[in-house]
Structure 1
Amino acid sequence: MAERMGFFTDTSICIGCKACEVACKEWNDVPDDGFVFRATSYDNTGSLGADTWRHVAFVERPRPAGEEGDGLEGWLMSSDVCKHCTHAACLDVCPTGALFRTEFETVVVQADVCNGCGYCVPACPYGVIARREPDGRAFKCTMCYDRQLGGLEPACAKACPTDSIQFGPLDELRARAEERVTSLHEQGRTEARLYGASPDDGVGGDGAFFLLLDEPEVYGLPPDPVVTTRDLPQMWRWAAGAALSLTGAVALSFLGASAGRGLLGRGSGR
């Protein structure tokens, strides 16, 4: 197994240029998603989906008190992507093996194996995976698996002009991210925090994690993601126990009915 690779996205230096979105689409031949203008935002892609594997979110918010320009709206920008979870529920529910974990510990969908069942869509705690119309197959970020096999960094990281998207061995990225948070805190940016970096979180840590400048919900991220299939083993045990109980009850009922018929038969023969 190769060293685990990942993304560290430092939102504090994202400028919202969307170069990562374009590079991702060009390299992976991802179709356009309509280029819809939304009157509420400058963001024309809206969210991650089957045709948007990298999405730069534009989040408007009031400036914190004390900052220059009090009362004016400020911007948070963040390039979102599949998290490549350590414990990936999408892998648990895929019936065909279309989803698999690579030697780099990333999670990839094989489109030619996907049967379009859609089980992976609700299984994802981040709402990343989606199905593409009209054939219904699922698609998402592969962390440019083909480029990694060739010793190249993913297209989005290569195209990022500010190094907001950093790619490399996951352990090194985590150490670098901790140093960055410490540096920002020393500069007075105490709101800086890491999201998805801890192996002790609900999904065992993410292969793509983030430095945020506000609560996760502000960026449209779940505050406490969990493996959605975590209760499946217990549910299967309950189901098996219920099935055994039902089978036992049916058997006892059948035996009771048979015994009753036997007694009736002996009584009528007297």
Structure 2
Amino acid sequence: MSGDEDRGGLLYGPQPDVAGASGYPSAPPRMGFFTDTSVCIGCKACEVACKEWNAVPEDGLELTGMSYDNTQGLGADSWRHVAFIEQRGPFGGGPEPGIAHPDHEDLDVFTAASRLGTDAGAPGPGAPAAPPGGAPEGAADERISPVSPDGRTELRWLMSSDVCKHCTHAACLDVCPTGALFRTEFGTVVVQEDICNGCGYCVPACPYGVIDQRKGDGRAWKCTLCYDRLGVGMEPACAKSCPTDSIQFGPLEELRERAQARVAQLHAAGVTDARLYGESPDDGVGGDGAFFLLLDEPEVYGLPPDPVVTTRDLPDMWRHAALAAVSLAALAVGSFVRRPR
């Protein structure tokens, strides 16, 4: 093992071949998830499929006060979490949500989505036709106005299925003292529950707050990207069950290309807020194995805007500690040698 490498294949620099660096010389392409939140309908099929396949315990069916979200976040008993975020106001690059703006000229996400694959200048399916002779100068175009005829501001639900990011630079791998966390040949990060001793070091190490310890158990649990299914050529249960292909599974590089094309398609349709999150190898965790297309800022979805691997400074810390130890030893020896008799 080189000085720049850990058992999880983490290099604090560009490192696309995480599986190869972890001891898999003939590893398959790195696999991952691309979640397109613009087509998520909040059906929770992914949550159910994940629990069913992985025998994840039920974690409560009570309403949380957060719309239809009955899980609130990822945890030891929620390896998939579907967020429901309610917003009022104009969308598609206009003023901030919550402010009615009848003269806003950008397409709202609903109208823009309905126009995908159609002439951008023509109304999409279900959109009302323009008034004869066009709208008066300075007046709002009712086809794209985010305000209804009676003055009510439109409501938008942002729905997103969150999951472990399977980071390139995975801090949880760095801090695990037992080797319970390991990098698979597919580049994913998995917890071996029979080896986990429940120390909990991985919980604060995760920059996304994904890993959690199960009550009454103490061990850490999280998404495995259905490692057992991948081994026999099957896709993860959540992606298999998604009815809209919001959760897409495949080789990571292929997914990144597909995601870039989807963002370009949405931008061309007027959804200017569409952006990718976690796909860049140049971010603070070296890129995620599970990344997202978002329709608003990451913070709106409960995601950190600039995630950083929490163990990035460990090599320097160890070097400073070693230098300090050597210096103290040298001082001790020097004091002994110079001590007067």
Amino acid of the structure 1 residue aligned with 2:265: S
Instruction: Determine the structure 2 residue equivalent to 1:208.
Output: 290
- In structure 1, distance between residues paired with 2:68 and 2:31: 32
1:85 counterpart residue number: 167
Match of 2:41 in 1: 15
Check if 1:25 corresponds to 2:51: yes
Report the Cα distance in structure 2 between the residues aligned to 1:216 and 1:225, rounded to whole angstroms: 11
Greater shift in the superposed pair: 244-253 or 224-233: 244-253
2:149 is the alignment partner of 1:123: no
Question: Which among 67, 71, 82 is matched to residue 41 of structure 1?
Answer: 67
2-structure distance, mates of 1:228, 1:93: 10
Worse overlay, 196-205 or 56-65: 56-65
Q: What is the TM-score normalised by the length of structure 2?
A: 0.74
Asked if residue 50 in structure 1 is aligned to residue 76 in structure 2, the reply is yes
Post-superposition CA distance 1:165-198 (Å, at most 9, x none): 0001111111111110000000000100000111
Equivalent position to 2:217, from 135, 145, 148: 135
What residue in structure 1 maps to residue 30 of structure 2?
4
Larger fraction in helix? 1
RMSD: 1.2
Q: How many residues align?
A: 259
3-state DSSP of counterpart to 2:200:
coil
Please state how far the C-alpha of 1:36 moved relative to its aligned partner. 2.8
Q: Give the match for residue 266 of structure 1.
A: none
C-alpha separation between the residues in 2 aligned to 1:30 and 1:56?
16
Q: Kindly state the Cα deviation for residue 55 of structure 1 after the two structures are TM-superposed.
A: 0.4
The equivalent residue for 1:60 is: 86
Secondary structure at the aligned position of 1:143 is classed as coil
1:147 to 206, 220, 229: 229
Write out per-residue CA displacement over residues 123-150 of structure 1, whole angstroms, 9 at most, x where no aligned residue: 1111100011112100000000001111
TM-aligned CA deviation for residue 69 of structure 1: 4.2
Query: Hey, what's the Cα distance between the residues in 1 that align with 2:60 and 2:258?
Result: 37
Q: Are positions 1:184 and 2:266 aligned together?
A: yes
Matched residue SS, 2:272? coil
Which amino acid is 1:174 matched to? R
Match of 1:265 in 2: none
Q: Structure 2: how far apart are the matches of 1:225 and 1:237? A: 24
Which of 311, 324, 329 aligns to 1:247? It is 329
CA distance in 1, matches of 2:35, 2:49: 16
- The structure 1 segments of at least 4 consecutive aligned residues displaced by more than 6 Å after TM superposition are none
User: The residue matched to 2:299 in structure 1 has which SS?
Assistant: helix
SS at match of 2:328: helix
Distance 2:333 2:69 in 1: 63
Deviation at 1:242, TM superposition (A): 1.3
Helix, strand or coil: the match of 2:210? coil
Mapped partners of 1:116, 1:31: distance in 2 = 18
Q: Tell me, which stretches of 5 or more residues in structure 1 are unaligned?
A: 263-270
Q: Structure 2 CA distance, aligned partners of 1:178 and 1:256?
A: 68
**Residue from 173, 182, 194 that aligns with 1:112:** 194
Compute the TM-score of the two structures, normalised by the length of structure 1. 0.93
Larger strand share, 1 or 2: 1
